Amino acid sequence: MERTAVNPWPWSVGFGYNQGELVSGAARTLYLAGQAACDENGEPQHAGDMRAQVELSVANMETVLRDAGMTLANVVRLSIYVTDIGAYWECMDVLAERLAAAGIAPPGSLLQVAGLAMPGLMVELEATAVD
């Protein structure tokens, strides 16, 4: 797979994402359901702790990727849904560092929503990955 960043405006790179990514030579595409801070039984974890929820959500995303034979480096689109954008900005380094370590800056969206699937959840990560 070959990725080419498309950035007609460079400001987004400072926030850790590209405006677009052109992907060629991909053989498989994985569409990940939203990954949140739930344990292996689907029970929400870390109520009220955005940082811990982001950490567990990324770990859960990596588990799904690994089961498909992929890593974070395969993510080409990432949407982030949060219930408190201010709390997310305070701990966005958790996700930004993991993406940077994987060498990616996927385009996507950051949206504040009124609520997520289960009470107590504060963040959900939805991704598309290719290899």
Instruction: Please state, in angstroms and rounded to a whole number, the distance separating the CA atoms of residues 16 and 105.
Output: 5
Contacts (Cβ under 8 Å, ≥6 apart) of 119: 44
Residue 24 tokens, joined: 């060629």
- Has residue 54 got a pLDDT over 80? yes
- Has residue 50 got a pLDDT over 80? yes
Domains along the sequence of the chain with CATH:
27-130 (3.30.1330.40)
115 vs 1 pLDDT, higher one: 115
Instruction: Please state, in angstroms and rounded to a whole number, the distance separating the CA atoms of residues 128 and 30.
Output: 6
Which class for 41: exposed (0-12), middle (13-18), buried (19 or more C-beta within 10 A)? exposed
Model-level pTM?
A: 0.88
Residue 24: per-residue pLDDT: 86
Asked if 78 and 110 count as a contact pair (C-beta separation under 8 A), the reply is no
**For residue 120, what pLDDT band results from cuts at 50, 70 and 90?**
very high
